[in-house]
A = this chain, B = another copy of it.
Amino acid sequence: MNISIIGATGYSGVELIRLLQNHPTAKIKSLFASSQAGLDLTEVYPHLTNIEQHTLEELDVEKTAEWVFLATPSGVSAKLVPSLLEAGRKVIDLSGDFRLPKETYESWYNKETANESDLQKAVYGLPEWFKEQIQNAQLIANPGCYPTAAALGLAPAMPYIDPKSIIIDAKSGVSGAGRSASLATHYGEVNENFAAYRVANHQHTPEIEQTLQRVSEQQPLITFTPHLAPMTRGILCTMYATITEEVDFQEVYKAAYEGKPFIRLRAEGSYPRTKEVSGSNYCDIAVHVDPRTNRLIVISVIDNVVKGAAGQAIQNMNIMAGLDETTGLTFSPLYP
């Protein structure tokens, strides 16, 4: 399996490179990074010295390999994907461009996306819930980091909670903001600091609602609040919903995630921590029931760069290729 990565030098791109090192049958054939074309990869990322030798290239669709990962800012893949599909490539898009209906996308992202017919070719790549569609897809819309953690954490509970009562309070490490230098990612501004951002208007809101709606009979209306935590990797979602039917939630989740290798349902009432999945493709989930307030409280954690981006993309590639979905992804988190 020959691989090309477009947008190879962002944090998702370089994580794809790290993970593909570990993959038994995939091999990186070309790395595209327009702003750094001509440089050696190790000039940009010295940690890859002696590991991956590539010259970064200007994008040329004809030079892409059979499998193409797009790790580009929103708006880019909307333009590139049509020609990649036409050229017969299997495409996994890590951006948000193909995840939402056209109108929803454009109202939350404030930019144009692809046309309807291309959007309809895309399969939403959350393997724990849509594996069958993924198997036959040519184009994957790889889920966002927050939507992965949130939807995996809430989906099993949907039949038993009030879908209008859902509140998702999410905390992310700084790598989620990408590698571009800005005041928002300046060490002096982020270290020893904690902040919310984009309250009530983050573009991942409709993506979470869409997924929760697809996996249930329910039409959710959620409040989603992202926060920036002073750490590099990790997302923790704390999710609240009013219980409408008293069930054994631990059993409900166990049933939902049986045979899903990357979901680790932790003991009821326990506290998964972001570091416990760091560097890995796992999503750890724990349910809590508060009888005093009749609320379900779910905690889910992922590594935003792995299960929230590059790792899930490879999991999707494995499924599309007919491989075991864990191929190349069965390693321990890095702890401490």
Contact = CB atoms under 8 A, between A and B. Distances in A.
A215 interface: no
A262 B179 CA distance: 28
Given A11-B336, A240-B167, A192 B194 contact: no
A183 B179 contact: yes
Given A188-B175, A222-B293, A273-B194, A50 B264 contact: yes
Given A11-B336, A188-B179, A171 B227 contact: yes
Interface string A317-336: 00000000000001111111
Given A188-B174, A188-B232, A271 B195 contact: yes
Interface stretch (A17-25, A137-145, A245-253): A17-25
Interface in A46-97: 46-52
Interface string A164-208: 100101010111000101110111111111111101100000000
A278 B330 CA distance: 19
B266 A46 contact: yes
Contacts of A236: 194-196, 227
A114 B98 CA distance: 58
Interface residues of A, number: 87
A164 B290 CA distance: 13
B275 A18 contact: no
Interface of A: 11, 14, 17-18, 21-22, 45-52, 164, 167, 169, 171, 173-175, 179, 181-183, 185-197, 199-200, 221-223, 225, 227, 229-234, 236, 238, 240, 261, 264, 266, 269-280, 282, 284, 288-290, 292-293, 295, 297, 299, 301, 330-336
5 contacts: A21-B332, A47-B335, A49-B266, A185-B186, A196-B236
